[in-house]
Structure 1
Amino acid sequence: MIYSKTEKTIETDRLLLRLFKESDAKDVSMFCNNYNIYKSTLNLPYPYSLECALSWIANHEQNFELDRMYEFAITDKNTGQLYGAIAISNHKQYKNGEIAYWIGEEYWGNGYGTEAAKAIIEFAFKEKDYHRVYARYFKSNPASGKIMEKCGMAYEGTLKDHIYKNNSFEDIVFYGIINPMK
Structure 2
Amino acid sequence: MYKSLERTMTTERLMLRPFELSDAQRVFEYCNNYNLYKSTLNLPYPYSLECALSWIKTHEENFIHNLFYEFAVADRITNELYGAIGISHNQQYRLGELGYWMGEEHWGNGYATEAARAVLDFAFQEKNYNKVYARYFATNIGSGRVMEKIGMVREGVLLEHIYKEDRFEDLVHYGILAPKI
Q: TM-score, normalised by structure 2?
A: 0.98
What's 1:172 paired with? 171
What's 1:4 paired with? 5
Residue-by-residue CA offset, 1:114-170 (whole Å, 9 max, x unaligned): 000010001000000000000000001000000000000000000110000011000
CA distance in 2, matches of 1:89, 1:67: 8
What's 2:17 paired with? 18
Unmatched runs of 5 consecutive residues or more in structure 1: none
CA distance in 2, matches of 1:83, 1:58: 19
SS at structure 1 position matched to 2:43? coil
What's 2:92 paired with? 93
Aligned-residue RMSD, C-alpha: 0.6
How far residue 181 of structure 1 moved from its aligned partner, in angstroms, is 3.2
Matches within 5 A, 1:23-172: 23-172=22-171
CA distance in 2, matches of 1:157, 1:53: 32
Residue-by-residue CA offset, 1:18-39 (whole Å, 9 max, x unaligned): 0100000000000000000000
Task: Give the aligned length.
Answer: 180
Q: TM-score, normalised by structure 1?
A: 0.98
The amino acid that maps onto 1:140 is: T
Residue-by-residue CA offset, 1:40-84 (whole Å, 9 max, x unaligned): 111101000000000000010111111110000000000000000
Identity %: 59
CA distance in 2, matches of 1:80, 1:45: 26
SS at structure 2 position matched to 1:102? strand
Tell me which stretches of 4 or more aligned residues in structure 1 moved more than 3 Å: none
SS at structure 2 position matched to 1:109? coil
CA distance in 1, matches of 2:19, 2:60: 9
The amino acid that maps onto 2:98 is: I
CA distance in 2, matches of 1:4, 1:92: 22
Unmatched runs of 5 consecutive residues or more in structure 2: none
CA distance in 2, matches of 1:59, 1:82: 19
CA distance in 1, matches of 2:112, 2:132: 16
The amino acid that maps onto 2:122 is: F
CA distance in 1, matches of 2:92, 2:5: 25
SS at structure 1 position matched to 2:92? helix
How far residue 4 of structure 1 moved from its aligned partner, in angstroms, is 1.1
